[in-house]
Structure 1
Amino acid sequence: MTTAYVTQNRVERAARDIVAGAAETLDLASPWVEPYPIQRLLGEALPRVRAGELAVRLVYRVAEESDLRITDLSALEALAAEGVQMRYSRRLHAKLVIADRERALVGSSNLTRRGGYGYDGRPLWRNEEGGLLVDGDAAADAASHFDRIWEEADELGPDLLGVVMDFPSVRELRFVAVREVSVGQLVVASDAAETTVVGEIRELTAYNESFPQMTEEMFLSQGLGGAPPRRINVPDIPSLFSHPVKDHGFLVAKTFFRPESAFTIARVRVLRRVRGGRGGTATVPVPPGSDVRAPSAALLRRLLGDGDVRLGRLAGHAEVGVWLRSDEILSKHLAVLGMTGSGKSNAVKHVLRTLAARGGLRVFVVDTHGEYATAAATIDGGAVLLDVSIPDRIDMLDWEMVKERFAVERMTAAIKKELRAAAAQAHEPSAFAGLLAGSGNDVVQDIADAVAADPGGFCVGKEEPRVVHEGGDDEADLSAPGLYVLDLRQTETFVVRSRKCAVLAERVFREAKSGGLPPALLVVDEAHNYVPERTTGYMAEAARHGSLGALTTVAVEGRKFGVGLVIVSQRPSRIAKDVLAQMNSQLVFRLCNLEDIGYVRESFEAADETFVMELSHLDTGVCICAGTMIEMSVRCDVPLFAPRRSFDLGAAALPAAAVLEEAVAGALPAAALVEEGEELVVFSGPEAEVTLRAEGGGHALDVDCADEKLAERVRAAVEHALAPVQPLSKSASTGLPEDA
């Protein structure tokens, strides 16, 4: 090992020699960094940095505001643009220049002119400095020390969004943004003690310290220190615009606005605490001064949980998919709420397709307007359309029906006796009428004549409604897994719709209680008509004809017997509170009715004031996912439901995600990679959703889009990417026979 001592007059020459001799790595530590010295030191090495031949790391200090009066951040940003890695430390005092972990300069000189990196013609202007040039083990020890400094230092990168200010709590914090942010964006705030929380930006307020109407009190309230003197003695609005030429006031006011002085304060609702990469309830606030950064896609995926029903993309984070837990939907129910046209049915179709494809589940949809019936084949190729046959024949043993049909003033005991006696001997209407013929009672004789004339209009004994196939009279078997849609679009009256809904719900629940069948999910569209909060007026029919009671039973007791419930409605305020209270998960789309918004506020644990205020501003297709089916409440951008086209990719292993991403981008330039795993790769874009999934011993490709030609282009692009892995046959690549 060799050692040499250098002073401030030789430090720059020694440092430049080390930089020039660096073959692979160069590490620099200096509390203060000035533009001219750092440019002199690294100028000749930057071409190698740009070319990737030399890796350079630089650590500087930010312990107090005075450090930034010397260190020039603009110069550091320029170096970062060239490829130099940057971090800052709160504790740094060491001054190091290390090349390849083999040669090092250890001393007291900062990268400043007074430290010896300048003032060539005025050496007396330099500080008295000293340092050692070392190699061998000493240089390796210095490199190890630098590694520890680097690991503990913080990074100013593109993911840095701002700094926490004021008085953070476990529920809320505010930060000054140093990058452009938006409402709904998720952020991570953390301090040096590894207290980390994830939150959602709920509100943004823009400030400009040159704004005439910002008083000293307002300025101080933001924790920005004393306001400049010119902040107090500025014209008020009336005096600004009292000039005869009103443009004069406008121009004067503009002189007070300096764009570079503007900044934004973001208010964040804390969602989860992060510890060990997992989420939990926040119990300790992050302190003021904590960094606020953009969360990584990997962290967000962990925090959202391990769901198995893909709904869409995380709003503001297109690279992250939103997955829901099907077991929570089945066991604890789901409410899908939103005004007409907000995207409710679109989201429900996505959920239904995933559940139906999974197998082992019976899904029943009460479809009021035929929206799901028309899409049934797209949701599930084996979907079954249902109807409910409600008997309208007059039961000869129903005294009220007989009395009303034959205008009998009073059903005497004698009349009832003869009718019972005939019913005991004959159950067919014609035979029943024959037994009554010749009765000495005029009323009974009239009944016998009417039944004989129209036996099809009467029955002997009560007939139960039956769930049948649509367009037929054969009773439907509901035991097999798959999608079943009760199509009510041809059922005109609300009374009959309510009764049919009740019949289906009662049968599903009754058969589930008997056991031996796959679990069931009952989806009720326009649920406010079938389980109304108010039972007056026409809504009373829901209670009278059974849908209210039947669905309430499923909501309260269904989970015990494997029956889940999904209610879909644009009027949540009209749904029975006892039913809505059982919905432990929610998808909430745009709502504008004040009564409905108030109802949501009272019903949802996550519905704070800001949450409620945002409901009327959600974009079409964007919903808030909350409840037990997802780890934390987030916004989800749900893609348009489209036909799914599936292609067999054979037994080849999938290439790297980057290769697939390039291939998909050729057909779908706007698509983003949102999921990546050994058995699943998902790309999502405005035109299509692309999924590569494991199937059997190989992989399959699903393309969800309305354009069949676009789906074929995606298939061709993906198969081309697979070609180096598994050459495709002529028939697979062109669709033509092998001998064509």
Structure 2
Amino acid sequence: MILQKLLEDVSSAKESVKIVSAWIRGEILEELIRAIKPKVKLEVILRAGEKKDLEISDYRVFKAVRDFGGEIYINPRLHAKFVIVDDKKAYVGSANLTYTGVMEGNLEAVVSLEDRAKIKELLDLWEVVKKESVKIDKRTVAVVIRSYSSTELDVLLLEELPEQSFLKVNTEKGFLVCKINHINSLGMENLLQNVKMVQKDWVVALINSMAEESGRIKVGRVHMVCEYVRTKEEEKESSFGVPLRVLDVGTQLLKMDEEEELLELMSTNMSGYPMDVKVFAGRLFGVKTPAYLDLTKIASMHMAVLGTTGSGKTTFVARLLKNIKDLNYAQVFVIDLFGEYHKRLGDDNLEYVKIPYTLFPICVDDVKELFKRYGIDISEKSTEEKSFFGKIRKLLKPDLRKIAYSERSLEDMLLDAPKDIKEYSQELLELLSRDFGEESTRNQKDVWQKATQIVSSQRGIVLCDLSDLIDPESRLNIVGLIMKEIFLSSMKDGKRRLVVLEEAHNFAPERGATDLPTGRENIALQMTKRIALEGRKFGVGLIAITQRPANLNKYILSQMNTQAIFRLVTKNDLDAVSVFFGERDWKLLNLLPLLKPGTLYLSGLAVPFGMLLEIEL
């Protein structure tokens, strides 16, 4: 039997096995391949010029060769049948590698050759056939079946791949970077329509072959992200080009080399330049390749971290901060509203300051508001009232260096009142003590010292824990003063500083969300805006973290040039982040409510392009 003889000879192969057969059945080829030693080079050429070719040759042929690590070629005109072992022995005849060809059924003629001259002639024919054939690269995972433009196309998937997978098409200068945005599984009812659109015989045959095997095919909608151009180290040019050429039907998309090409790509920022300071961010969803952020783009151009409670925001930021600390690139100031970061960051090179419960008015209007809140009717009408509030106005300034809390408490200021006013001040102090405790009006000097300790610290990370400070206006005032000092310090010395603002919508709210009772703009909002607008000039960066992006000031949100977006549910929040999603990533916006904890969409200037990531929780 022909098959038995072939099995004996291919099992003895030491270097190469070359197979040429118009038609091949998967089961026959699988049996032959099992007999071939692992390090032997396997090459297969088969016919695929019309639908019937790959109704006989099935998709198991492609899979068997790919699994072995061999090369497969398709030739639409092939009719020859021969096998060459180690370039020394060959079988030539009429038999295809099918049941009827090499087992039983057809009357076939096959001869064995070992004559060097004859083998040489056969090898020359092999090279001719191979040269005019289409090579299906062993790394090929998809084939173009329809191009809509230079950036949008449909591909036939040859392997199971998750959405958001990155593929490539080799070019003379480098490679085109492609991302699978969506995958459809098509049954026989849709198959004919897809085949009708394809104007290349071997691709049609391949589609039919896969459909015959499983009854379905999988088609991916692919977006061409960019062309990655390999540049020399001394060349100061962007590595990203614009893909302008429409890919032909039949173009093969390959897996990226995760150890080299994908890592090289993931180490590039959106401008196409190598990241200046690379910080680990997470792993590509479904692929596990590490992805990075360019810290220089965050420290100068800011980042938003958005997502519902429990989605993974704090874990993501804490790990990012640890990496930043190790790099010693910028001093980091963390405004921690709920005390979540101390355990996560540890004590190494960390300045930890916990602000006690306090009342911390920073201007005369704040004091007037306290009187008004408790129904005490006092204003600047009488001479005594004008004198009293005049003193308060001199003592309280929205500036940490000028405010009088370095020497006097709020209680001292209120009791230093004219005789006619003092009983009102004493009444207010009693009411405040009952509601907030006696220390809340006496500990301003201690709080001032802690705020000063924060802004003067030289540690790598300075953590301001506000979990004991419940009064919202006092929080706004203290945080605003701290942020002002950080900004002014960078203006003077030019050192890089990074402010991490947890629950940013509480400090920098959108108009109408959490405005002060007086209607004026709080100092924390003022300073957050200033850092967002001017921070780049002075080396001050901002990471704004919030579970309610709809309530974060829209101007500030628009200045966050890198975005890490976790699960979001409400329509208002989804509308607020929709500006960060281009038309091609619209499906990802719709998926945000379904994201599992630890999954995020990362985009903006600090990364090469928008991508779906996973982090460990």
Scaled by the length of structure 1, the TM-score of the pair is 0.61
- 1:590 matched to 2:575? The reply is no
What residue in structure 2 maps to residue 384 of structure 1?
Answer: 352
> Aligned ranges for residues 684-699 of structure 1 at < 5 Å?
none
Q: Aligned partner of 2:340: which letter?
A: E
What residue in structure 1 maps to residue 37 of structure 2?
Answer: 50
Q: Aligned partner of 2:469: which letter?
A: T
Q: Aligned partner of 1:571: which letter?
A: R
What residue in structure 2 maps to residue 301 of structure 1?
Answer: 263
For the structure 1 residues 488 and 606, does the alpha-carbon distance in structure 2 shift closer, same or farther, using more than 3 Å as the test? farther
Unaligned segments of structure 2, at least 5 residues:
199-210, 232-238, 269-274, 395-403, 426-431, 433-443
For the structure 1 residues 264 and 195, does the alpha-carbon distance in structure 2 shift closer, same or farther, using more than 3 Å as the test? farther
Q: 1:392 & 1:486 partners in 2: Cα distance?
A: 16
What residue in structure 2 maps to residue 316 of structure 1?
Answer: 286
1:632, CA displacement in angstroms?
A: 1.8
Instruction: Return the match for 1:60 from 38, 41, 46.
Output: 46
Larger radius of gyration: 1
Q: 1:310 & 1:413 partners in 2: Cα distance?
A: 62
Q: 1:412 & 1:473 partners in 2: Cα distance?
A: 35
CA root-mean-square deviation: 5.3
1:272-313 deviation per Cα after TM superposition (whole angstroms, max 9, x unaligned): 334559654332232233334443313322222255211222
For the structure 1 residues 165 and 151, does the alpha-carbon distance in structure 2 shift closer, same or farther, using more than 3 Å as the test? closer
What residue in structure 1 maps to residue 397 of structure 2?
Answer: none
Task: Give the conservation status (yes or no) of the 8 Å contact 1:376–1:485.
Answer: no
Task: Give the conservation status (yes or no) of the 8 Å contact 1:495–1:541.
Answer: no
What residue in structure 2 maps to residue 493 of structure 1?
Answer: 471
> Percent of counterpart pairs with the same letter?
21
Task: Give the conservation status (yes or no) of the 8 Å contact 1:387–1:469.
Answer: no
SS of alignment partner, residue 166 of structure 1 = strand
Q: Aligned partner of 2:45: which letter?
A: V
- 1:557 matched to 2:557? The reply is no
Instruction: Return the match for 2:243 from 282, 304, 312.
Output: 282
Task: Give the conservation status (yes or no) of the 8 Å contact 1:366–1:525.
Answer: yes
1:182, CA displacement in angstroms?
A: 3.0
> Aligned ranges for residues 495-574 of structure 1 at < 5 Å?
495-515=473-493, 518-535=495-512, 538=515, 544-574=521-551
SS of alignment partner, residue 544 of structure 1 = coil
Task: Give the conservation status (yes or no) of the 8 Å contact 1:272–1:279.
Answer: yes
SS of alignment partner, residue 556 of structure 1 = helix
1:573, CA displacement in angstroms?
A: 1.5
Task: Give the conservation status (yes or no) of the 8 Å contact 2:359–2:474.
Answer: no
Q: Aligned partner of 1:325: which letter?
A: D
> Aligned ranges for residues 599-678 of structure 1 at < 5 Å?
599-605=576-582, 608-640=585-617
Q: Aligned partner of 2:483: which letter?
A: A
1:220, CA displacement in angstroms?
A: 5.0
Instruction: Return the match for 1:112 from 96, 102, 118.
Output: 96
Task: Give the conservation status (yes or no) of the 8 Å contact 2:306–2:549.
Answer: yes
1:135, CA displacement in angstroms?
A: 4.8
What residue in structure 2 maps to residue 208 of structure 1?
Answer: 187
- 1:483 matched to 2:461? The reply is yes
Q: Aligned partner of 1:205: which letter?
A: N
Q: 1:286 & 1:638 partners in 2: Cα distance?
A: 35
Q: 2:128 & 2:356 partners in 1: Cα distance?
A: 74
For the structure 1 residues 105 and 222, does the alpha-carbon distance in structure 2 shift closer, same or farther, using more than 3 Å as the test? closer
For the structure 1 residues 273 and 323, does the alpha-carbon distance in structure 2 shift closer, same or farther, using more than 3 Å as the test? same
What residue in structure 1 maps to residue 327 of structure 2?
Answer: 358
For the structure 1 residues 592 and 473, does the alpha-carbon distance in structure 2 shift closer, same or farther, using more than 3 Å as the test? closer
For the structure 1 residues 191 and 331, does the alpha-carbon distance in structure 2 shift closer, same or farther, using more than 3 Å as the test? closer
What residue in structure 1 maps to residue 194 of structure 2?
Answer: 222
Q: Aligned partner of 1:317: which letter?
A: V
What residue in structure 1 maps to residue 226 of structure 2?
Answer: 272
Q: 2:140 & 2:536 partners in 1: Cα distance?
A: 45
For the structure 1 residues 347 and 415, does the alpha-carbon distance in structure 2 shift closer, same or farther, using more than 3 Å as the test? closer
- 1:173 matched to 2:160? The reply is no
1:369, CA displacement in angstroms?
A: 1.2
Q: 1:523 & 1:162 partners in 2: Cα distance?
A: 43
Q: Aligned partner of 2:590: which letter?
A: M
- 1:367 matched to 2:353? The reply is no
For the structure 1 residues 269 and 466, does the alpha-carbon distance in structure 2 shift closer, same or farther, using more than 3 Å as the test? farther
Task: Give the conservation status (yes or no) of the 8 Å contact 1:335–1:587.
Answer: yes
1:639, CA displacement in angstroms?
A: 1.2
For the structure 1 residues 389 and 620, does the alpha-carbon distance in structure 2 shift closer, same or farther, using more than 3 Å as the test? closer
Q: 1:17 & 1:473 partners in 2: Cα distance?
A: 82
1:324-360 deviation per Cα after TM superposition (whole angstroms, max 9, x unaligned): 1111111111010111111111101111111112224
Q: 2:76 & 2:292 partners in 1: Cα distance?
A: 43
SS of alignment partner, residue 116 of structure 2 = strand
1:559, CA displacement in angstroms?
A: 0.9
- 1:154 matched to 2:144? The reply is no
- 1:25 matched to 2:4? The reply is no
SS of alignment partner, residue 245 of structure 2 = coil
SS of alignment partner, residue 328 of structure 1 = helix
Task: Give the conservation status (yes or no) of the 8 Å contact 2:285–2:612.
Answer: yes
- 1:261 matched to 2:251? The reply is no
Task: Give the conservation status (yes or no) of the 8 Å contact 1:27–1:146.
Answer: no
State how many pairs are aligned: 550
Q: 1:17 & 1:603 partners in 2: Cα distance?
A: 59
Q: 1:394 & 1:292 partners in 2: Cα distance?
A: 63
Q: 2:105 & 2:537 partners in 1: Cα distance?
A: 89
SS of alignment partner, residue 287 of structure 1 = coil
Task: Give the conservation status (yes or no) of the 8 Å contact 1:467–1:503.
Answer: no
What residue in structure 1 maps to residue 205 of structure 2?
Answer: none
Q: 2:456 & 2:137 partners in 1: Cα distance?
A: 60
Q: 2:26 & 2:512 partners in 1: Cα distance?
A: 81
Q: 2:448 & 2:177 partners in 1: Cα distance?
A: 50
Q: 2:377 & 2:76 partners in 1: Cα distance?
A: 100
Q: 1:192 & 1:104 partners in 2: Cα distance?
A: 38
Q: 1:166 & 1:597 partners in 2: Cα distance?
A: 33
What residue in structure 2 maps to residue 134 of structure 1?
Answer: 116
For the structure 1 residues 118 and 199, does the alpha-carbon distance in structure 2 shift closer, same or farther, using more than 3 Å as the test? closer
Structure having greater relative contact order (Cα 8 Å, sep ≥ 6): 2
Task: Give the conservation status (yes or no) of the 8 Å contact 1:105–1:131.
Answer: yes
What residue in structure 1 maps to residue 440 of structure 2?
Answer: none
1:363-419 deviation per Cα after TM superposition (whole angstroms, max 9, x unaligned): 0111111112343426x45333254998869999x99899999957645499869x9
Scaled by the length of structure 2, the TM-score of the pair is 0.72
Unaligned segments of structure 1, at least 5 residues:
1-11, 227-256, 438-442, 452-456, 458-464, 641-740
- 1:185 matched to 2:165? The reply is yes
Q: Aligned partner of 1:638: which letter?
A: I
SS of alignment partner, residue 341 of structure 2 = helix
1:548, CA displacement in angstroms?
A: 1.1
SS of alignment partner, residue 375 of structure 1 = helix
Q: 1:92 & 1:73 partners in 2: Cα distance?
A: 19
For the structure 1 residues 140 and 334, does the alpha-carbon distance in structure 2 shift closer, same or farther, using more than 3 Å as the test? farther
Q: Aligned partner of 1:85: which letter?
A: G
SS of alignment partner, residue 625 of structure 1 = strand
Instruction: Return the match for 1:347 from 293, 311, 316.
Output: 316
Task: Give the conservation status (yes or no) of the 8 Å contact 1:87–1:150.
Answer: no
Q: 2:546 & 2:527 partners in 1: Cα distance?
A: 18
